[in-house]
Chains A and B, each alone.
Chain A
Amino acid sequence: MMEATWQTLATWFGPTWPAVWVLLKIIALLIPLMLAVAYLTFAERKVIGYMQVRIGPNRVGPKGWLQPIADALKLLFKEVIFPTQANKGLYVIGPIMALTPALLAWVAIPFGENTWIANLNAGVLFVLAVTSLEVYGVIIAGWASNSKYPFLGAMRASAQMVSYEVAMGFGLISVLLVAGSLNFIDIVHSQAQGRFAEMGLGFLSWNWLPLLPLAVVYFISGVAETNRAPFDVVEGESEIVAGHMVEYSGMAFALFFLAEYANMILVSFLTSIFFFGGWLSPVGFLPDGLHWLLIKAAVFLFLFLWFRATFPRFRYDHIMRLGWKVFVPITLIWLFVVTVWLLSPLSIWR
């Protein structure tokens, strides 16, 4: 039935069919992603509400379930204000540059054995490169606003995001070493083998156990990379109001918001794929599937919200210290350990 439908569509569009097919796949990815972003904001307000012994939003729709829709509509209909002294062109490009990499990185993410938009053989590098562009949105917005708080936010962002990228990149080197590939699907496959996987205890042969310090460093660096609490000095409400977003209103502001939440979901997916076996089932008697990836990502998203409700904001110099003096040495030492382990007869990988 499905095959026949695709065949008819393919003959219909003729030579343009590959392009149409990719566009369809992109739409099939973007719509759930945008819905996930919308309902992640709702989940955040609910979760933090319950953690602070409040109820959270409960007025719009049944139990407050239409709250994100109402928020989106409100932001859509608000006027986008341009400050007089702002650099108009760059002021518009800022939010676009924030959202584009956040969505572009999803191209290379696999959701299952055969479910992906593009299966790149250097997929990990691609995602690293694209996520390294995220900082431009913040910097451009902060500079183009031509006002002090946004500029301070931009300066903080450029230093912080570059620093934590180093820790994330170094953490990934060991993952690439044990997988022997830059391809996401190969990295997941490499976690499906080992003594425990043969015993039906797959979750013990995932990367998180042998690479535990790196998994922790990677996820915490991911929190810092997305500028989420407790590393949200870029926004720092108590000092610089909202950082690079101070002058933005309406949909331009919403784009930053979308980018931040899309990045949170991306980091959760990447952590699940690199360290927690992606779509692999944790135990032998249950089948693998997309639902496992979604469950794992949801757990990490919950951690994001939990962190925000729990930890006070870091001071700026402590963020820098944590990134450069704690995380980078840990990743380097573990890289050494993994290399020796990999070449020794005790190697569990090959």
Chain B
Amino acid sequence: MEFQTVVFYLFGAIAVAAALGVILVRNPVHAALCLVLVFFSSAAIWLLLEAEFLAITLVLVYVGAVMVLFLFVVMMLDINVDRLREGFWSNLPLGLLVAAVLVVEMLLVLTGDVFRQASSPPALPTDASNTESIGRVLYTLYSYPFELAAMILLVAMVAAVSLTLRKRKDVRYLDPAEQVKVKAADRLRVISMPAEKE
């Protein structure tokens, strides 16, 4: 077996096992960490495809930022596993429906033209920059979809902030800019007075 095949199956197996772990383990923190492992092994598989920009960005964005905040929330929650299980049977039909839709979608993608190529594309020269080619395509051919996606994300971000923004009136807040601007003369008065005798 080729070295690349070995690496592919190794990381593929880790990804599948970790993905199963996400839905099977009881502890939500363990599940979140399993998800981190899934992202990580997917990034390794992308590296095999010589897509180093995507692989590194996956680690940088999803593992380095998104999952950290996710863990932050999951760790703070006191999740009762038994209470979560109560709705299992009533939610099952909906869950099965979503799963079926997902399976159909993935089948459509996987049986498409892109995945039917028998052999992997020819290896690129070592000095080819993946980042540069992605940038070139993204800002020319796909610039409208790209900017549309950026706008949608921005709107979602503003919406999330405005939904959770609550201004408390009674909180005592220090403004560092004002603190820095304070001069001694505003606060302190030096007066001269004659010395007093007993």
Residues of A within 8 A of B (CB): 90, 120-122, 125-126, 128-130, 132-133, 135-136, 139-140, 143, 151, 154-155, 158-159, 161-162, 165, 182, 318, 321
Contacts and interface: CB of A to CB of B under 8 A. Distances in A.
Nearest to A318: B176
Nearest to A93: B33
A151 B75 CA distance: 9
Contacts of A182: 129, 131
Given A122-B52, A158-B69, A318-B176, A133 B63 contact: yes
Given A122-B131, A143-B29, A318-B176, A132 B64 contact: yes
Contact of B64 (A121, A159, A165): A165
Given A132-B64, A133-B63, A133-B64, A122 B56 contact: yes
Given A132-B65, A158-B71, A126 B56 contact: yes
Contacts of B72: 139, 155, 158-159
Contacts of B30: 90
A125 B56 contact: yes
A162 B65 contact: yes
A122 B133 CA distance: 13
A144 to B, nearest CB: 9
A122 B53 contact: yes
B53 A143 contact: no
Contact of B68 (A121, A122, A151, A162): A162
A139 B131 contact: no
Contacts of A128: 56, 60
B53 A135 contact: no
A120 B76 CA distance: 38
Nearest to B71: A139
Q: Which 7 A-B pairs have the closest CB atoms?
A: A132-B64, A129-B60, A129-B59, A125-B56, A129-B56, A158-B72, A143-B75
Contacts of B63: 129, 132-133
Contact of A125 (B57, B65, B71): B57
A165 B65 contact: yes
Contacts of B56: 122, 125-126, 128-129
Nearest to A151: B75
B75 A154 contact: yes
A121 B127 contact: yes
21 contacts: A90-B30, A90-B33, A122-B56, A122-B129, A125-B57, A125-B131, A128-B56, A129-B64, A136-B36, A139-B68, A139-B72, A140-B33, A154-B75, A155-B72, A158-B72, A161-B68, A162-B65, A162-B68, A165-B65, A182-B129, A318-B176
B139 to A, nearest CB: 14
Interface in B16-40: 29-30, 33, 36
A5 to B, nearest CB: 27
B165 to A, nearest CB: 14
Nearest to B58: A129
A125 B60 contact: yes
Contacts of A132: 59-60, 63-65
Nearest to B57: A125
Contacts of B176: 318, 321
A296 to B, nearest CB: 26
A155 B68 contact: no
A136 B130 contact: no
B39 to A, nearest CB: 11
Contacts of B64: 129, 132-133, 135, 165
Contacts of A122: 52-53, 56, 129-131
B112 to A, nearest CB: 29
B164 to A, nearest CB: 15
Given A121-B127, A122-B131, A139 B59 contact: no
A162 B69 contact: yes
A122 B52 CA distance: 8
A158 B68 contact: yes
A132 B127 CA distance: 26
Contacts of B130: 121-122
Nearest to A169: B60
Contacts of A135: 64, 68
A143 B68 CA distance: 13
B53 A125 contact: yes
Contacts of B36: 136
A225 to B, nearest CB: 12
A182 B75 CA distance: 36
A235 B29 CA distance: 23
B166 to A, nearest CB: 16
Most chain A CB within 10 A, of B30, B63, B64, B75, is at B64
A41 to B, nearest CB: 28
A120 B59 CA distance: 16
Interface in B56-94: 56-57, 59-60, 63-65, 68-69, 71-72, 75-76
A129 B39 CA distance: 13
